[in-house]
């Protein structure tokens, strides 16, 4: 940190100035994974509701409100996408 402040770019010789800006607030993992934050970023969050059943708790209105593992496996098998 003992180097002198730059006044010009060493590559293009364009004048430069030091900019002081606000630090980025680091969110906690709990805040980053909150339902509100997930939905605001356009993602959908599902929580397990039973054996192979999942319910939507956050996300866009057009996302399915529930997911069923057996139905998804049957759809994948019908389309030839299953790997079993």
Is the pLDDT confidence value at 84 over 70? no
Q: Which residues span the domain enclosing 74? A: 44-79
Note the pTM of the prediction, 2 decimals. Answer: 0.56
Residue 73 lies in a domain: yes
Residue 57 lies in a domain: yes
**59: nearest Cα among 78, 74, 36, 39:** 39
How many structural domains does the chain have?
Answer: 1
Is the pLDDT confidence value at 28 over 70? yes
Residue 72 lies in a domain: yes
Q: Is 37 helix (H, G, I), strand (E, B) or coil?
A: helix
Residue 71 lies in a domain: yes
Residue 70 lies in a domain: yes
Residue 36 lies in a domain: no
Is the pLDDT confidence value at 44 over 80? yes
Q: What is the pLDDT of residues 49-77, one digit of tens each?
A: 989 999 999 999 999 999 999 998 898 98
Residue 68 lies in a domain: yes
**47: nearest Cα among 57, 37, 38, 39:** 57
- Stated as kind and residue range, the H or E segment containing 9 is none
Encoded tokens for 47: 């929580």
């Amino acid at each position: 940190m003992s180097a002198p402040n730059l006044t010009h770019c060493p590559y293009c010789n364009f004048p430069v100035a030091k900019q002081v800006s606000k630090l980025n607030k680091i969110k906690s993992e709990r805040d980053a994974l909150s339902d509100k934050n997930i939905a605001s970023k356009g993602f959908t969050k599902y929580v397990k509701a039973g054996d192979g059943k999942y319910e939507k708790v956050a996300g866009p209105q057009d996302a399915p409100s529930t997911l069923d593992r057996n139905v998804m496996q049957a759809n994948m098998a019908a389309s030839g996408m299953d790997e079993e």
